[in-house]
Amino acid sequence: MYIYTVERGDTLFLIARRFRTTVDLIVAANRLPDPNRLLVGEKLLIPVLGPIRVKVQPSDSLWAISQRFDVSIEVLATANIIRPPYTIFPNQVLVIPIVLPQGMGCIAWVSNRTGRPDIYVRTPQDQRARRITFNLALESSVPAWSPNGNLIAFIGRGNALWIVDPRTLNAVRLIENLQIFTHFDWSPNSTAIAFSRREIVPAIITIEIATGQTQFITEGTEVNYLPDGRRILFESSRTGLSQLYIINADGTGLRQVTRNTEGGVIQSVVLSSDGSRAAYTFPGVSISMVKIVDLATREEFETPAGPLGRDFNPVWSLNGLYLAYNASTEEGPAGLRGIIRVVDANGTFVQDLTDTACFGDQLTWGPNSTRVLYSNCLMVHPQLSVVGFTGLPIQITSLGGNENPDWTSVNCPPV
């Protein structure tokens, strides 16, 4: 469904005509208390009567079809003029009112659509999702694709680091007793994971996927592999102030990168794909600013702050030209919603893509570096949405809560 911002002079009839849909369908998607009263700036979900059709099979129900295509039963029923108790018949043809964004690759995310959180995958252009874990994920799990697109890692049940193969559904627990928000990073060759274990002194450890063998590297947090796989970028307060450092994977060759002179903690460290620059948030949560540092020259760049000065979760585009982050606002039903702000590699403002993101939630770029996948908070439950430099945002899920996405260029396994 498109996400549309109401403008002065809009009515549901005019909006429906513009999108070639119906007033009833817009009302069903948004549960509007008074369809005749729209507010300028209000966000509306716009289902579209597109080309997707499905023929009802003898075992089908409207509920089952709505689950299959990730659309609410109310919207599906309205699109096909079906009244409660939603009776359908074999060979009946139903229109599926969804909008599918362009994009290749495979999306992984956390959804609680079955009543508890698990990891799901799908392609951007196919509404059908595949559940790949079963009672293993947490609400806080952040799935991360391996660079080769074969495995997904996440912190799940037992506060353990898990990996799962989306093709075979085989899940392996690598190590337990981590914190639920433990930061980790795949090695460039997809054979190991580096993570920080927060004990009395936080420790950076690597673990081999095939053998489970672990190795202590150094003290620190916020670990990132450099593209050569032989060096690691991380945060440490070993000198009393939070700084970024680079160290060889064997624990030698320590080099300080940042020259911070203020109190606070560097967090949410992310490395550009070519390893030339890192972005991070500083100094904390109540006030959080996104900064960029050139790893070779140590030159630092500030980014334009959002309305509240609370900016989170920076993420680089795969081509390294852009950095997106979640800039908090006071908008939205819960009082806090985020702007997806895009800057260039020097921190210069490029564009605000949307103001519908959930406060502080994860973002991820698509493989072509022109679209961002995020969770919107327009309703009670967060829903995955895609937005680009042009066009309206498109919501691509509807069932349960859906968040913390990651997007690989490798194709999904068949549903």
Q: Which two tokens stand for residue 234?
A: 């991380």
HSE on the CB side for 109, CA within 13 Å? 29
Report which of 148, 116, 109 is spatially closest to residue 132, judged by C-alpha positions: 109
158: DSSP letter = G
28: DSSP letter = H
Phi, psi of 63 (to 5 degrees): -60, -45
Residues of the chain with pLDDT under 70: 331-336
Q: Are strands 267-271 and 311-316 parallel, antiparallel or unpaired?
A: unpaired
Q: What is the pLDDT of residue 332?
A: 59
Q: What is the pLDDT of residue 333?
A: 56
Q: Which two tokens stand for residue 228?
A: 């050569």
| 311, 340, 356 from 361: Cα distances, Å | 10, 10, 11
Summarize pLDDT for 150-161 with one digit per residue, the tens: 999 999 999 999
Q: What is the pLDDT of residue 113?
A: 95
The pTM assigned to this predicted structure is: 0.93
Q: What is the pLDDT of residue 331?
A: 67
Q: What is the pLDDT of residue 234?
A: 98
Q: What is the pLDDT of residue 128?
A: 87
Residue 296 buriedness (CB in 10 A; 0-12 / 13-18 / 19+): exposed
Summarize pLDDT for 58-107 with one digit per residue, the tens: 999 999 999 999 999 999 999 999 999 999 999 999 999 988 888 899 99
Q: What is the pLDDT of residue 15?
A: 97
* Residues contacting 17, CB < 8 A, separation 6+: none
Q: Which residues pair with 203 in a beta bridge?
A: 197, 219
**Starting at the edge strand that comes first in sequence, how are the strands of the sheet with 144-145 ordered?**
144-145, 152-156, 160-164, 171-175
Domain boundaries, given as residue ranges, for the chain: 2-95
Q: What is the pLDDT of residue 199?
A: 74
Residue 326 buriedness (CB in 10 A; 0-12 / 13-18 / 19+): buried
Q: What is the pLDDT of residue 361?
A: 86
Neighbours of 182 (CB within 10 A): 18
Cβ-contact 266, 228 below 8 angstroms: no
Alpha helices in 69-171 (DSSP H): 73-79
Instruction: CATH number for 2-95: choose from 3.40.640.10, 3.40.190.10, 1.10.12.10, 3.10.350.10.
Output: 3.10.350.10
Q: What is the pLDDT of residue 214?
A: 96
Per-residue exposure over 155-178, b if at least 16 CB sit within 10 Å of its own CB, e if not: bbbeebbbbbebeeeebeebbeeb
412: DSSP letter = P
How far apart CA 47 and CA 45 sit, in angstroms, is: 6
Q: What is the pLDDT of residue 126?
A: 87
